[in-house]
Structure 1
Amino acid sequence: MAHLSRRHLLQSATATAVLASLGVPSGPLWADTALSFASAQDFSFEALIARARQLAQEDYQAPYEPAPEVVQEIDYDAHGAIQFDRDVALFADGPGVYPVTFFHLGRFFPKRVRMHMVEDGKAREILYDPDYFEMPDDSPAKELPEDSGFAGFRLHEARQRDDWKTQDWAAFLGASYFRAIGALGQYGLSARGIAVDTATAGPEEFPDFTEFYIASAPNQQEAVQVHALLEGPSVTGAFRFEIRRNDGVVMEVDSHLFTRQPIERFGIAPLTSMFWYGEYNRPKMVDWRPEVHDSDGLALWTGANERIWRPLNNPSEPVVSSFVDRDPRGFGLLQRDRNPENYLDGVNYHRRPSLWVEPLDDWGAGNVQLVELSTDDEIHDNIAAFWVPDEPVEAGQAYRFRYRLHWMEDEPYANEELAHVSATRIGRGGNAGTERPEGVWKFVVEFEGGALQGRDPDSPPDMELSAGRGGLSNQSTEPVPDSKRWRALFDLEIEGDEPVELRLHLKDDNGVLSETWLYQFHPPEPA
């Protein structure tokens, strides 16, 4: 088709606006934008599912990577200097309430991702044009071919807001990664379409969202509907995202997956985050800030109705922890510590979203797996969590998983009757004023809210405590001075450097008072 310059497109958009002001129908959505489009094709989710199923029976074809030697020159700084022109954003002038802008290719996002607008059962591909982007005169991106394409997209705040051009709330960029802001208006951890062989003996596979199909939301009460085609050497998939912007962001996900090859670790609804250190494992003088993390724990709501909190670790070697379950009610990586005094920098760790996975069907037998990798800086995502079905994954299988992602300040559906863990603290064991014994560690676990709220300080709860190995002593519970919290204290005496699994909850004669604290303690090397 003939290629129109940006100037001609803008003139066309202006003419359309004039016709609309005169009461003349403006025509389809694609005619009311300065973007250029390919011809319309029929589109439905059912057809996308059928296409993913067919692709799984064919040899894998890697996505197009234009001019790799040029794209490699678009490093982090160069990529950040390339901005999509908000004036030509999809739905910048409606009728969709949330404008859409697109990411340019770069060193870390080198593969073309096809973008489409959907209207009335028809999809039109949005054609790449370098004129859509504002970039420095010396940008390497100017040397890319005309068919380079886009790397991803983001949804901006409602166009009725004066600041929508600088404020976005969801983004899809890189492999099958996507993220959203929570109720506190800050990006943090990410989700993925699928995780394939994460932390196995072989290489991890990163399937790509290769095509997106975006339909407008007519108002702020309706969902933005996004469809995506997933392709990888071992798996293909078709996804539908119904994305709503409310106090935070809620995404309803319908995923259909088809395997090309056997998969050792098949991670469903994967979450990816960063944990460097918290109040309980800060290395001596490694950084000036008290804590550095996007998430500080894994929360679980099991099919048996148990609530679990597992603080995160930064281990010296990769660790995979499995939490066996059947039909889980939910799990998530949360940022519970919201005190800015515990971070003290300008990147707003205290506002990072918590991300909760809510299954919408029975998922059967399996386990939530937590992957913890070593990191020595905050720039690396070293934490992953996902659901892994029990049954082996072979080639030629089909799966459907439906779930809801809650990008919020805290987990939804919290049990208000149970106290939750608010802090974990670890130090040398023994008592103050005495010689501290070697190989003994003191744990202090703080609980807040629920049944402990307003509890008589002279009526301490009991604790239920167990350890996978070692000896336990000095067990007690007490109120934390000048606060509404209670804490459980105990000493653990161990030999060797093998990890120790710990489990604790509070109770009294009336039953369980708190969620269950689980922790995998890695004994540090002797000083």
Structure 2
Amino acid sequence: MPQRKQLSGHAIRRIYLLLPALLLLAQLLPKTVSAEPAPTGKAEPFSRQLVVDKARQLSQAPFNPAQGEVPQSLLALSYSAWRDIRYRPEKALWKKEKLPFQLQFFHPGLFYDRLVTINIVSGGEVRGVPFETALFDYGNNHTLPEQIPERFGFAGFRIHGPINTPGHFDEIAVFLGASYLRAVAKGQAYGLSARGLAVDTALPDGEEFPYFKEFWIEKPTRRSTSLTVHALLDSKSLTGAYTFVVRGGKTTTMDVTATLFLRMPVTKIGIAPLTSMFLFGENTDDRKVRDFRPEVHDSDGLLIKNNSGEWFWRPLDNPENLDINAFQADNVRGFGLIQRDREFAHYQDLEASYERRPTLWVEPVGDWGRGHVELINIPTDRDIHDNIVAFWRPKDELPVGVPQTYEYRLLWYNGGFTHPPLGYVGATRTGETENGGQRFIVDFQSKALGLLQPPAEVKGVVTCGKGAVVVEQIVEKNPHTGGWRLSFVIRPDQAPSALDKVLPKRRQPVDLRAFLKINDTTLTETWNYAYRP
């Protein structure tokens, strides 16, 4: 199993889930009268090129990880003690100016052992945001303010705006920890994360975690519909200059421009990485845990739009062993981790609200060249672990010292995400047959498929890789969903050897693909699965 990300796990996941509740609690507490943080220091001219130049210069020097910036008393805090440190909502940046966006900042401590510098760009000039203990309510941590160094910084920040109700500012996005960021669309709860970059994910020597060390946030006007955030990325192997243009709404979007500078050769780079959680779903026939909930996941599938126009769906899995899949995607047109199942009855979790988790879609701008989309499924037995990773990986290693720029859009959808094919996969179910085969039930659905009624000659096209054969296949109308159901049975094409019986996981998984068609017209996206004999 690869080294897990440093800023995930039980505490980090709970922090994100509890942020809205903590903010509401803070708003109900007695308020003190004090000013919001005022940017200070000598004003300096700013443009995105300044961040690019900083990244280039940083890449030409050895990596210098920050050490000792955060006092041990903060790092030793328990989870409950750290979350008791709350930013005072009345001090939100730009609150008194009644601008369309507001900023609140996170306090270092616990897992957040790096200080990030936060600057505000106004009128084309830059001034830093100073850290002040007066910005925070320390709760029961009465002695902590006295232990804060005179020169200190923040751990990250969050963006607020009237995303749900006019005049009421709710959280839109969070930049906190390494290069992680999260966002929500209207009416949603936090779920999966995006990252600035993935480096050597799932390699034996362990993963490298780049981090944003400095931000430049452009001050909006009263008519602004977006907020622009620039970030400087640093890591042992590389640096980067990032720009995020954030727009909250029914679909929250981030237009991203990333310019990378390698210090040294990197074996694996993941562009636009996404991180999510899948514990079990309707396709899980062997759960690792006993749980009252029918399904538990932030995302239930990987969707890819290839350069040819084909849409490709892969249900997520929680395997017995680390599972890495590569899907050829030269000049990929889009990919994302999708939460299609939006029915509360399928989760039955009043607190987690999995049916309200975002879908996150990556839409490249221009041609990215040759490469593949990589999907990594990490075994887990708890829903506090983010065990799903997806990103686009270039075929060739990126050159050292030569800037590489990638542009793309992140779309945080409130809904299951529809797209051009007439039908999409609504559910995948599987189970063993009496004679050693595996039965698959794939429900395709859409409004268009709902209009097709028997005796329409809808046919299933199932292809099976080496190692197994299709022995049964049926396509029928599903009157309960309005769509069409494809069911088929897969069996190994030869009896297992003596070694296979002793080591059943020795056999390679068999690639399965299926879609529906009528005459010569393809009706649906392509469903894909890894069958393990």
Report the TM-score, using the length of structure 2 for normalisation: 0.87
| Alpha-carbon distance in 1 for matches of 2:222, 2:450 | 41
Instruction: Identify the residue that residue 503 of structure 1 maps to in structure 2.
Output: 513
Q: Which moved more, 1:178-187 or 1:260-269?
A: 178-187
Superposed CA offset, 1:261-318 (max 9, x none)? 1111110011111111101115356211100000000001000110111000111221
Asked whether 1:277 is paired with 2:280, we answer yes
Amino acid of the structure 2 residue aligned with 1:361: G
1:156 to 140, 150, 160: 160
Could you report, residue by residue, the CA deviation over 1:398-429 in whole angstroms, capped at 9, with x for unpaired residues? 200000000012476711x4200000000122
Structure 2 residue 336 is the aligned partner of structure 1 residue 311: no
Structure 2 equivalent of residue 295 of structure 1: 299
Is 1:453 the counterpart of 2:463? The answer is no
Q: Verify: 1:115 aligned to 2:122, yes or no.
A: no
Greater Rg by CA: 1
Whether the aligned pair in 1 keeps the contact of 2:39 and 2:120 (CA below 8 Å) is: no
Q: After superposition, what is the alpha-carbon deviation per residue over 1:358-416, rounded to whole angstroms, capped at 9, x for unaligned?
A: 0011111111111111111110111111111111234323200000000012476711x
The answer to whether the 8 Å contact 1:463/1:504 transfers is: yes
- Quick one: which of 512, 519, 522 aligns to 2:529? 519
Change over 3 Å in CA distance of 1:34–1:152 after alignment to 2: closer
State the Cα distance separating 1:36 from its structure 2 match.
5.4
Q: Does residue 351 of the first structure (1) align with residue 351 of the second (2)?
A: no
Q: Does the aligned pair in 2 maintain the 1:332–1:411 contact within 8 Å?
A: no
CA contact (8 A) 1:276 1:378 kept: yes
* 1:419-467 alpha-carbon deviations (Å, 9 max, x no partner): 00000000122xxxxxx11x21110000001542211133341111112
Instruction: Give the secondary-structure state (helix, strand or coil) at the position aligned to 1:326.
Output: coil
Match of 2:105 among 97, 102, 107: 102
Taking a change above 3 Å as real, the CA distance of residues 195 and 353 of structure 1, as seen in their structure-2 partners, is: same
CA distance in 2, matches of 1:509, 1:280: 30
SS of match in other structure, 2:259:
strand
**Structure-1 residue corresponding to 2:490:** 492
| C-alpha distance in 2 between matches for 1:140 and 1:504 | 62
Residue 467 of structure 1: aligned partner: 464
Does 2:398 correspond to 1:369?
Answer: no
Q: Using a 3 Å threshold, how does the CA distance of structure 1 residues 450 and 377 change in structure 2: closer, same or farther?
A: same
Give the partner amino acid of 2:311.
R
Give the TM-score normalised by the residue count of structure 1.
0.88
Q: Deviations over 1:206-247 (max 9, x none)?
A: 111001111133246521010100000101011111111121
Percent of residue pairs bearing the same amino acid type: 38
CA gap of 1:57–1:509, structure 2 versus 1, over 3 A, is same
- Give the 3 Å change call, closer, same or farther, for CA 162–82 of structure 1 in structure 2: farther
Counterpart position of 1:323: 327
Q: 2-side partners of 1:36 and 1:508: how far apart? A: 63
Following TM superposition, by how much is the alpha carbon of 1:201 offset from its aligned partner in structure 2, in angstroms? 1.7
Q: Describe the superposition over 1:460-499 as per-residue Cα deviations: whole angstroms up to 9, x where unpaired.
A: 4111111222121110111123330211001111254432
- In structure 1, stretches of 5+ residues that fail to align are 1-8, 14-32, 430-435
Number of residues of Structure 1 aligned to a counterpart in Structure 2: 485
What's the CA shift for 1:126?
0.7
Q: In structure 2, which of residues 422, 425, 429 is the aligned counterpart of residue 421 of structure 1?
A: 425
Output the CA distance in 1 between the equivalents of 2:355 and 2:346. 8
Among 44, 49, 54, the residue aligned to 1:46:
49
Change (3 A) 1:375 1:195: same
Whichever residue aligns with residue 460 of structure 2, its letter is M
Q: 2:478 aligns with which of 474, 477, 480?
A: 480
Whole-angstrom CA distance in 2 between matches of 1:242 and 1:443: 42
What does residue range 210-221 of structure 1 map to in structure 2 within 5 Å? 210-219=213-222
Residues 359-398 of structure 1: pairs in structure 2 closer than 5 A: 359-398=364-403
Contact kept in structure 2, 1:505 and 1:517, CA below 8 Å = yes
Match of 1:286 among 290, 298, 307: 290
